[in-house]
Structure 1
Amino acid sequence: MAETVQTFCRICEALCGLEVTVDGDQVVDIKPDDDHVATRGYGCLKGLKQHRMYDTPDRLLHPMQRTDGELQRVGWGDALGSIGGKVRELIDSHGPDSIAMYVGTAAGFGVLHPVFAQGFMQGVGSANMFSSATQDCANKFAVARHVYGFPFTQPFPDLDKLECLIIVGANPAISKWSFLQVSNPIRRLKEVEARGAKIFIVDPRRTETAKVAGEHVFIRPNTDVFFYLSFLHELLATSGIDRARIDQYMTGFDELCRVAEAWSPERTAEVTRITAESLREMVRAYREADGAALYCSTGVNMGTNGSLAFWLQECINAISGNLDRAGGTLVSTGVIDFPAFGKKTGTLLHDNQSRIGGFPSVNDSMPGGILADEILTPGDRQIKALFVTGGNPLITMANSERLREAFQQLELLVVLDIQPSETASVATHVLPCTSPLQRPDLPFVFPLMLGLQSKPYLQATRAVVPPKGEQRDEATIYVDIAKASGVKLWGSAAAQRTFEAAKALHSIGRGARQPSIPQELLLSGLLRITKQGSFKNLLKQKHGRLRPEHEPGSFLGKRIVHDDNKVHLAPDVLVKQAEKLEAD
């Protein structure tokens, strides 16, 4: 007998509400949830057809281990024993940094998966964490730490109230926005424009976004930093700043002014191909609007000067008086004040350095671009083992042939995934994981802990269908790998014992089903600790539960985690880098 249940999508940041029709243990249809409190009946093609991917014949059902050059099916006991034994051997022989982990985007869209993956690596004692974020958005995290004191402090446009929006190097019509949960971005942009707001799309091509809303402004590829410099120059020249706000809440304004001094619109036009007239028109619209925002994404992030460009953008939004105001850019909160928690605990604030190149960690992660070198270069702290969780770096990372060569030299390569992948094809072990529809969940860290939502809400979902074969959720897998490796999650013997016991108790009476930690209980504990009620009660609000609206004026002077509680407009490292632009 078929039944329909409510859940939400977890394959991108939009987290669209869904209605899933289930017949037995099979998903037969997915439709948008018309009554969802925030996403209002929207769903993209990928989200509405995702069950077809999860039900393909090549879906991983059993652990695989490489024997005589071929991946062969083994039991969980054998796989875990082999992995754990090699981890212990490598730590004893080469130290904890010989063990590394790559965390992919798929891991980030759940709550428990990244927490337990990080817990395992902390138990190992290794600083060799890599992630897909270092490929397309590490600039935002690095700049935010310098400017605001915490990498996850990411202001976002107040789409419902702004009067001018300038989108640089982003295509939300396709990407569904980034660093902000916005369902149905095409409709939202049309709504913004319909109420009279001006929208400019600064991009080397006329994107899908530029075709549906706003005015397209062509820019020469990889020249974004010069656009921002002349924008800042013109804003200062036309007194488009809030000096009282700057003096009260910010430092480094004079140094920032010197950075922009030489970059007039006429000068940058030669590089960007944006005429001085067009540049001044955008600045005028931005300056005269009762609430405006500059916003960028991967087109800027992955450019040569992505960090400088994002820094200048944040400074412009700040000094113009648009930061932390209705219609400008907002810094919201989730179920806790996560930046304050991070500062107190050191979460995401470790100052590690890579062995190759001496690069600083960002969000406690090393640059993905040096992973092959870290594996292939002999010496102390050389990576000998790699766990790949929720990602496929042989497809997503540059110079994949060299990375493949590096992966083939590893003594241990463990891939946790739902399907065979390019990376899994060279792995020593492949472990079958549950899909998003096979696990309970809450919205991931950005909306849950940071409030990065255009419309704040909270939602819980149970597993829509059960796991098949020997599939296990990633959190349980890391509890098991830690035990087999003789390490303690987060370096805590108490935590390790607690989760092993919780798994044992929760697995009683499960029959042929795979053992599991009590995921719903853990999620409920998180909700209760943050005073959001229980998981069970949240489930009753099957279309989601609205949270309080964002509060403009709640950030500046109150929630910045720098010791002086101010926005740092001119961090030395960024100012010095900007000085080199003359050579470009």
Structure 2
Amino acid sequence: MTASPGTAPQAGQSADIRVHGRICPFCEQNCATEVTFDHTAGKVVSIRGDKQDPLSQGFVCPKAVAVKDLHHASDVLTGPMIRRNGQFEPASWDEALDYAANRLQAIQAEHGRDAVGLFFGTSIAHIPGFAFYTGPLLNALQTRQIYSTSSIDCHPHFLAAMSMFGGFTSFPVPDIDRSDYFVLIGANPLQSNGSFMTAPGVPRRLKAIQERGGKVVVIDPRRTETARMADWYLSIEPGGDAALLLAIVRTLFDEGLVQPGHLTPFLKGVDALRAMAQDFAPERVGPAVGIPAEDIRTLAREIAAAPRACLYGRIGSAMQRFGSLTNWLINAINILTGNLDREGGPMFPQGVFEGVIMSDRCRDGQLPYDRWRSRVSNWPEMAGQFPAALMVEEMETPGEGQMRALVTMGANPALSSPNGGGRLSQAMSKLDFMLSFDIFINETTRHADVILPSPPHLSHSDFMVFFTFLTVRDYIKYAPPVFEAPSGALHDSEIICELIGRLTGQSAAAADDQALRMLVDQLRDQGNAVIAGLSFEQIVQHVGSEPGEDRMLDVLLRSGAYGDHFGDRPDGLTLERLKAMPHGVDFGAMEPRIDKVLHLPDGKIDLAPTVITDDLARLEAWVDGERDASLRLMGRRQVRTCNTWLHNFPSLAKGPELCVLLMHPADAAERGIPDGARVRVRSRTGTVEVPVHLSDEMRRGNVSLPHGWGHDEDVPGQLHAKARPGVNSNHLADHTLLDAPSGNVNLNEIPVEVELLATESA
């Protein structure tokens, strides 16, 4: 017989060891892996990259091995937990789900729909059950108090795509494999692996640009790992990206380098953009951003002269006060130089199927922005969400609509969101009720009244849902479960449908059917021609009645560009055919398709969207403003971490201490701070104490602290994380310093003071 996961083999029992194709769940690259699993002992033997996978080609980073730690972790929850008398105790699924549904219903009945908030984490993009069923849960709750990690690190990207092209999934992705002039702005893929550019093995791909005679340029306040391998590194003041880019736009117009080419018929706002750039001459901008005017002009000329150039920004371009302006201008320069939507520039992936998460688009002339406003700060929603920075004030401020209950889904906002010295944790502790979907008791879920865990990671199927519209090639892979879920466990889709059923008075099976209907209706609303000609009943005849996320995937595959179109194309892709391709399938590189991604009423690209350009006055004030003596704190990426996720895994929680403050030696000398000392870092909102490491990779006047640490709270378990807790940089984040158009958090230009901690006397 085959033992359950974690079961010791019986005497004389031979080992049943098999290799299973899987997908690494820890970052956007979705690298294909091969997991060698001992089914007799229930143990992961080894994990390696799948060399036969056409996209990742065997590449994996150190994070991949953490799947073994995840499988064997002793503090992973294996069943529902209910807090009783301040302590978590195991509960049955019926008891936990009944209690959660009753409390949510009672709170909404007494205080209104918006008294319940929901915060979902990055895991919604990695866990198919969350990806497909969070929307139906929101539909059941009918609340406008919706938050996510997207307003911490990526809303400026989405706002730029929505306002310029009309849709959130009208998202330009670098065609890195065919580019010969690649500019990275606030991106460090040698540590992050790349983001909003699903291209496993980015270090190899960047090196290939250089090997074919191209050039890699990095613009960053820190000489990052990626900057060290670049052909040209430009050190910039934090927050200066938008001003630099406007100076490049000014140069392109002044020197007759604007050549949009094939994009010309689609453009509007060219003259408006030219006028906006006039006040940002390189001579004015240079001193503010710390880059000589002649270097700015040279960069503009080289971008314009390159046969195939691409500007790409990520975390540093988004997590700042001018994130929306920066990402608008990245797109604008790619457009003005004719690089958008052509080989080697930023292109629009067709994907194997349509994007269905964060897929809001312009409807009847209305952008999915500012359709309603937050209760306390009157902040506009975006794609149905409010900025995560507002969540704490919505909990703390009494009155009609006050958030009294919270649902978290695979998220740890107590560490990942700006909380002003721990205000969010304090506010969560005072809620009337809190429900968490999670497999760990962590800094956030410790406040929950009910925790509903997923089954073991290797017991559910895995595939990309969110990242298909961000992948540099039309690629898809399906990974079947390694073993069956333990008896009594519920998959994510089952847990959510059981809760929805209780909230809406229907069975879990009916809730699952309703979720499938919502997906079909969404595809129809998005203009999917295949779905348009079919009834729901006809679709179900093809995909079957078996509930769950696999059925959802089958609908997407069949209705996608390469699908069987529900029988009309017999050789097309279905889930069963995909299962027969264990190493994934690559349908080819991106192709020009600008006309397919424009959703503004006039079918144009808006080069001067007022929702973003109205913020230019604030940027001008920054350019001309006086700089105070404060240091500026920025974050940094690390290849062995991912936000708050991986610090409890022993294979990654070793080696040199990672949560240290980087500081330029000259800045340290002025303050009498030696290398390795402990220092106090103070901002307007909080204080942390941390070791300092002196490094000339830092730009003078700036310090760097990684994001996602601070595992020093009273949390059961998390032993490895608590052994090396680090400090929570979000205690220093000022939740009032946001990107004005998008509400994104500023984590890369926080004014701080750094002082040496007094040593204890002997």
In the superposition, the TM-score normalised over structure 1's length comes to 0.91
Partner of 1:459: 477
Matched, 1:374 2:404: no
Distance 1:2 1:88, change over 3 A: same
CA displacement at 1:291 relative to structure 2: 1.3
Partner of 1:581: 619
Maintained 8 Å contact 1:384/1:410? yes
- SS of 1:290's equivalent in the other structure is coil
Maintained 8 Å contact 1:43/1:184? yes
CA displacement at 1:536 relative to structure 2: 2.3
2:556 aligned to 526, 532, 535, which one? 526
Identity percentage of aligned residues: 28
CA displacement at 1:104 relative to structure 2: 0.3
Partner of 1:9: 24
Distance 1:521 1:581, change over 3 A: closer
Matched, 1:546 2:586: yes
CA displacement at 1:523 relative to structure 2: 2.6
Partner of 1:18: 33
Matched, 1:481 2:521: no
Moved more, 133-142 or 236-245: 236-245
CA displacement at 1:308 relative to structure 2: 0.7
CA displacement at 1:569 relative to structure 2: 0.7
2:155 aligned to 118, 134, 138, which one? 138
Matched, 1:238 2:259: no
Matched, 1:349 2:387: no
- SS of 1:391's equivalent in the other structure is coil
Cα deviation digits, residues 165-201 of structure 1 (max 9, x gap): 1111100111111111111111111011111111110
Amino acid at match of 1:582: E
CA displacement at 1:494 relative to structure 2: 8.7
Distance 1:348 1:19, change over 3 A: farther
CA displacement at 1:496 relative to structure 2: 4.5
Moved more, 201-210 or 399-408: 399-408
- SS of 1:85's equivalent in the other structure is helix
C-alpha separation in 2, matches of 1:329 and 1:225: 19
Matched, 1:252 2:269: yes
Partner of 2:453: 432
C-alpha separation in 2, matches of 1:141 and 1:18: 30
CA displacement at 1:281 relative to structure 2: 1.8
Unaligned residue ranges in structure 2 (runs of 5+): 1-15, 518-545, 564-571, 623-762
Within 5 Å, which residues of 2 pair with 1:559-574?
Answer: 559-574=597-612
Amino acid at match of 1:434: P
C-alpha separation in 1, matches of 2:464 and 2:108: 35
CA displacement at 1:353 relative to structure 2: 2.1
2:443 aligned to 412, 422, 426, which one? 422
Amino acid at match of 1:583: A
Maintained 8 Å contact 1:61/1:432? yes
Amino acid at match of 2:19: T
Maintained 8 Å contact 1:84/1:486? no
CA displacement at 1:468 relative to structure 2: 4.0
- SS of 2:381's equivalent in the other structure is coil
2:576 aligned to 501, 520, 536, which one? 536
C-alpha separation in 1, matches of 2:515 and 2:314: 42
Maintained 8 Å contact 2:257/2:304? yes
C-alpha separation in 1, matches of 2:507 and 2:613: 40
CA displacement at 1:517 relative to structure 2: 4.3
Distance 1:533 1:122, change over 3 A: same
Distance 1:488 1:366, change over 3 A: farther
Distance 1:266 1:189, change over 3 A: same
C-alpha separation in 2, matches of 1:67 and 1:367: 32
- SS of 1:547's equivalent in the other structure is strand
Amino acid at match of 2:267: M
Maintained 8 Å contact 2:116/2:406? yes
Partner of 2:428: 407
Distance 1:444 1:498, change over 3 A: closer
Distance 1:204 1:7, change over 3 A: same
Partner of 2:203: 186
- SS of 1:160's equivalent in the other structure is helix
- SS of 1:352's equivalent in the other structure is strand
Distance 1:55 1:425, change over 3 A: same
Distance 1:216 1:469, change over 3 A: farther
Taking only aligned residues, the RMSD between alpha carbons, in angstroms, comes to 2.4
1:445 aligned to 426, 449, 466, which one? 466
- SS of 1:49's equivalent in the other structure is helix
- SS of 1:475's equivalent in the other structure is helix
C-alpha separation in 2, matches of 1:497 and 1:425: 30
- SS of 1:30's equivalent in the other structure is strand
Maintained 8 Å contact 1:31/1:43? yes
Cα deviation digits, residues 468-513 of structure 1 (max 9, x gap): 47543222111011122236799x97945989xxxxxxxxxxxxxx
Moved more, 273-282 or 479-488: 479-488
Partner of 1:512: none
Partner of 2:230: 213
C-alpha separation in 1, matches of 2:373 and 2:127: 28
Aligned pair count reads: 562
Maintained 8 Å contact 1:107/1:391? no
Matched, 1:385 2:402: no
- Which of the pair has the greater relative contact order for Cα pairs under 8 Å at 6+ separation? 1
CA displacement at 1:20 relative to structure 2: 0.7
Cα deviation digits, residues 114-172 of structure 1 (max 9, x gap): 22112111122112111001101111111211111112221022112222111111001
Moved more, 19-28 or 177-186: 19-28
CA displacement at 1:575 relative to structure 2: 2.1
Distance 1:529 1:456, change over 3 A: closer
Cα deviation digits, residues 335-364 of structure 1 (max 9, x gap): 345489754989993633221222222232
Maintained 8 Å contact 1:32/1:48? no
Maintained 8 Å contact 1:368/1:397? yes
Partner of 2:683: none
Maintained 8 Å contact 1:201/1:215? yes
C-alpha separation in 1, matches of 2:482 and 2:372: 40
Unaligned residue ranges in structure 1 (runs of 5+): 500-515
C-alpha separation in 2, matches of 1:123 and 1:26: 39
C-alpha separation in 2, matches of 1:429 and 1:283: 55
Larger Rg: 1 or 2? 2
Moved more, 516-525 or 145-154: 516-525
Partner of 1:64: 81
Distance 1:80 1:363, change over 3 A: same
C-alpha separation in 1, matches of 2:576 and 2:251: 54
C-alpha separation in 1, matches of 2:548 and 2:266: 45
Distance 1:406 1:50, change over 3 A: same
C-alpha separation in 2, matches of 1:422 and 1:232: 45
Partner of 2:125: 108
Q: Decide which structure has greater helix share.
A: 1
- SS of 1:456's equivalent in the other structure is strand
Distance 1:61 1:193, change over 3 A: same
Amino acid at match of 1:472: L
Amino acid at match of 1:522: M
Partner of 1:76: 93
C-alpha separation in 2, matches of 1:216 and 1:543: 38
Distance 1:319 1:80, change over 3 A: same
CA displacement at 1:373 relative to structure 2: 0.7
Distance 1:172 1:348, change over 3 A: farther
